[in-house]
A and B are shown apart, each in its own frame.
Chain A
Amino acid sequence: MKIVGKSVRKVDGIALATGQPVFTLDAVPPGAAVGKILRSPYAHAEIVRIDTSRAEELPGVLCILHHGNVPRIPYTTAGQGWPEPSPYDSFLFDRKVRFVGDRVAAVAAISEEIADEALRLIEVEYRELPAVLDPAEATAPGAPVIHDEEDARGIHDPEHNVAAAIDIRVGDIVRGFAESDVVVETTCVFPYVQHVPLEPHCVVAYLDEEDRLVIRSATQVPFHVRRIVARALGLPLSRIRVIKPRIGGGFGTKQEIVLEDVAAALALRVRKPVVMKYTRAEEFVAARTRHPMKVRVVLGAKKDGKIHAIEMDVLSNTGAYGTHSLTVLSNVGSKTLPLYNKAPHLWFHGKAVYTNLPVAGAYRGYGATQGYFALEVAVDELAEKLGMDPLELRLKNHIRAGETSPIFEKIGEGRAGKAQVVRSCALEECIREGARRIGWEEKRGKRIREGNWIHGVGMALSMQGSGITDIDMAAATVVMNEDGTFRLLVGATDLGTGSDTILAQIAAEALGVPVEAISVYSSDTDFTPFDTGAYASSTTYVSGGAVLRAAREVRRQILEVAAAILEEPPEELDLEGGHVVSRKSGKRVPLSEVGHRAMYVTDQRHIIATASFVAPESPPPFAAFFAEVAVDTETGVVRGGKFVAAADCGTPINPALAEGQLEGAIVQGIGHTLYEELRFSPRGRVRNPNLFDYRIPTAADVPDVEVVLIPSDEPTGPYGAKSIGEIGINGPAPAIANAIHDAIGVRLYRIPFTPERVLRAIRAKSSA
């Protein structure tokens, strides 16, 4: 292959490197009004009265929206496929507020200052209701009911605050544990953590010359935004156009409609462009978070280390609204349990419950991250109890190519799944290569001391998916220009990941041209074909599949025209270096000649093709993670020494971009493992909604991160590719937890591993 497998430069790289105005807020129409949101000061309250008269009298205020003057339509803000698996439990504005920071009203004004002043002048009388902040208390009898509205739909058990529930059984779990020689039980806790994209949510909404609503938004899901805004505002879908410019990071939080609905409603009311952006504080409070979870894992194994039974029990906190509640919960099991597919007895069960806290949603890893933290710590404990090397234990149990797991069929995306066989898996090589690079043999169990610092190594495995089977669909259009260059139109959404580039590489490979011959235009609901969007590790596999099909059809059309020129059968012809070349005679014709002939001269036609690709299955990428840490036993500080990840993403279409996905995900994972946690007051207010008190890793915090790609060939993927976007974030928490145990013999079950927690655990152990 000439272009696939090469680290070509990003097609949008020059624009980004030179600071061109390519982000949403870089192109705000002149005279745009500023939209702002009034937020609830209470965790749970009823709005008794809302008086906007003083605010409306303020010169420069254009419009104020609240529950009293907008239609009441239930919807979900989760940008997922249709029909959405998330409950319809949100309204543009509601009579009730369910967390500190919930929407109360929105203002459009001629300036930001006036909009802020108007928010202060809106008088709201609240009747405070008892709030529940603890997910374990939320389901108790007598707990306040958070979603008591009658028109919500799809909530599993609203009276008990259960947004979603799951119960999956394989084999006989009771027998499984009875037959096991060794049983371990581990409970791990994942707190509230946030995506923290550098660019907060932002949007511009306006009416175009034809009175259609245009939404320019930093979104991962332009087509879902169009559909959901149409529903929320009661508009025909055809009246809405969504455009995604460059996005300053997403990680799942921009898979949510948090501003587009309000901005669109304001723009329709004031008939002027409206710009809205979250402040950093709003981003922490009112964007989305990862689902905080308590995951209990029970593992049963035979003496020889064969895992025989697995129970996984999940309590997920979805916050005030149920966005992604069922699907994230499902993924805790569906993305983890198949990894240890030899166990015949499985029980996966759990609940996602409402609390009066910020709203959880999609976040890179999507439940798998929480699941792997518990599962991989449990596997380490099992190895300890069996007296085995945790690496050998994992080698003995992990899934391999040609094998399957009943979980694939049992758990899908909010419904049953589909049976699949793993066709490509280089996990064993990943484990061996990662172990070699970290120095597993030399370092494990050695507890090397340097003053107060003690060194240890730990490992974890992970798999993810590549898109959602039978649901994720992408389409692509490849258009030939007469000069032999091409346009590639894709609904796929590049959120900084480089997907525009790898999709161009796939097309270029199929068409025998350099990447520079392909102009990519993506993510515009009026001008690009449909794509479900950038989530579920789907773009390379699903959108890439569509691009390859469309490019191959264009290739076929080119060869047909060239066959007439060269007077040879198309089967003898190849595309190479911008020419059609005959394998038989060696005769060549440049693509520009083919293009001109087709467009202007003989048997005219536009060489163009659109193709769709639906994920036929969801081939998992695999990774082995190894952490080396040093723990200061005096202060409890955990210092990352080295972090190695060896990953199998099939064919890396662009190795540098694939490595970048892995490196970024690992450091994001190190962030939640060591530093990050949203903290709350007893009344549910976020205590640290800023980057000083909610610390994400800086360049100085990052250990030596080493990633290695171990290719496999996925037969269902474009040029053998699988996904790489999410998997990296699953490794750090368990690998570092296990490394800390290797260093100091102490197990930590709650992230982040702050010095206080580590010290407390050390003291608890020494007093025990």
Chain B
Amino acid sequence: MMKIYFELNGEPRYVEIKPGEMLLDLLRRLGMRSVKEGCRTGECGACTVLLDGKPIRSCLTFAAKVKGHRITTLEGLGTPEDLHPLQEAFLETGAIQCGFCTPGMILVAHHLLSHNPDPSPEEVRGAITGNLCRCTGYVKIVDAVMLAAERKRKGEWR
């Protein structure tokens, strides 16, 4: 057993981790249930979280690796009372069907828009290509990211 410090959704955490424990399991153990297990082999993207702002597969990342780093899960982006504009846009465009891929999709989109506020639909497709969705055909997910980007450019959110 070892203990590590890391920042989870803006809060410092000092937690015990098990030897060989994956970040996916640690985060779910800590109550971050938005982090989904779809394959455990890094192929589906449902377990995506942000490490210092960049998307990673938490199922392929050892928990020990996040020591000293900043982790953001969907829980850290917005809440039911205070939705993040990306969450708003996903709701508005009908981009959520079953919702299982949604956390990963929103986090990847968040990263895209943080460095490219004016993406083309192709760039959005490229950014989310590692995140599988079986319900929507990606059509409305791309619409949602484009809508959120437009609002970001208008200064409606940062």
Are A496 and B98 in touch, CB under 8 angstroms? yes
Which of A10, A195, A197 is B96 in contact with, Cβ under 8 Å? A10
Check if A249 is an interface residue, CB within 8 A of chain B.
Answer: yes
Q: Which B108-138 residues have a C-beta within 8 angstroms of A? A: 124-126, 128-138
Chain B residue, CB-CB nearest to A658:
B94
Check if A629 is an interface residue, CB within 8 A of chain B.
Answer: no
Are B75 and A18 in touch, CB under 8 angstroms? yes
User: Which of B30-38, B62-70, B146-154 forms contacts with chain A?
Assistant: B30-38
Are A20 and B80 in touch, CB under 8 angstroms? yes
Q: A702-B138, A705-B139 are in contact. Are A198 and B79 (CB under 8 A)?
A: no
Check if A226 is an interface residue, CB within 8 A of chain B.
Answer: no
| Cα-based distance from A596 to B93 in the complex (angstroms) | 38
Q: Which B79-95 residues have a C-beta within 8 angstroms of A? A: 79-80, 83, 87, 90-94
Check if A247 is an interface residue, CB within 8 A of chain B.
Answer: yes
Q: Which of B37, B43, B97, B131 has the most CB of A within 10 A?
A: B97
Are A248 and B80 in touch, CB under 8 angstroms? no
Q: How many residues of B contact A (CB 8 A)?
A: 53
Q: A16-B99, A18-B75, A247-B98 are in contact. Are A696 and B134 (CB under 8 A)?
A: yes
Are B140 and A663 in touch, CB under 8 angstroms? yes
Check if A666 is an interface residue, CB within 8 A of chain B.
Answer: yes
Chain B residues near A495 (CB-CB < 8 A): 98
Check if B78 is an interface residue, CB within 8 A of chain A.
Answer: yes
Chain B residues near A699 (CB-CB < 8 A): 124-126, 128-129, 131, 133, 138, 141-142
Q: How many residues of A contact B (CB 8 A)?
A: 55
Chain A 686-712 interface 0/1 with B at a Cβ cutoff of 8 Å (1 = within): 000011100011111010010100000
Which of A14, A664, A691 is B39 in contact with, Cβ under 8 Å? A691
| Cα-based distance from A14 to B90 in the complex (angstroms) | 10
Chain A 2-20 interface 0/1 with B at a Cβ cutoff of 8 Å (1 = within): 0000010110111111111
Check if A196 is an interface residue, CB within 8 A of chain B.
Answer: yes
Chain B residues near A660 (CB-CB < 8 A): 94, 97, 135-136, 139-140
Chain B 17-40 interface 0/1 with A at a Cβ cutoff of 8 Å (1 = within): 000000000000000111111111
| Cα-based distance from A705 to B37 in the complex (angstroms) | 29
Chain A 344-367 interface 0/1 with B at a Cβ cutoff of 8 Å (1 = within): 000000000000000000000000
Closest Cβ of chain B: how far from A671's Cβ, in Å? 9
Check if B8 is an interface residue, CB within 8 A of chain A.
Answer: no
Check if A171 is an interface residue, CB within 8 A of chain B.
Answer: no
Q: A18-B87, A699-B129 are in contact. Are A197 and B41 (CB under 8 A)?
A: no
Chain B residues near A248 (CB-CB < 8 A): 36, 38, 98-100
Give the secondary structure class of B's interface: loop
Are A496 and B80 in touch, CB under 8 angstroms? no
Give the secondary structure class of A's interface: loop
Are A280 and B98 in touch, CB under 8 angstroms? no
Chain A residues near B97 (CB-CB < 8 A): 249, 496-498, 660, 664
Chain A residues near B98 (CB-CB < 8 A): 16, 197-199, 246-249, 495-496
Which of B36, B41, B73, B83 is A198 in contact with, Cβ under 8 Å? B36
4 nearest A-B residue pairs (beta carbon)? A19-B34, A496-B98, A16-B99, A667-B137
Q: A14-B91, A692-B41 are in contact. List 7 more A-B contacts (CB 8 A).
A: A19-B35, A198-B44, A248-B38, A280-B44, A660-B97, A663-B137, A697-B137
Interchain Cβ contacts under 8 Å between A and B, 30 examples: A10-B94, A13-B96, A16-B98, A17-B78, A18-B80, A19-B34, A19-B73, A20-B80, A195-B134, A198-B44, A198-B46, A198-B101, A198-B133, A199-B36, A199-B100, A251-B134, A279-B40, A280-B39, A280-B44, A497-B97, A659-B140, A663-B137, A663-B140, A664-B136, A668-B134, A691-B39, A696-B134, A699-B128, A699-B133, A705-B137
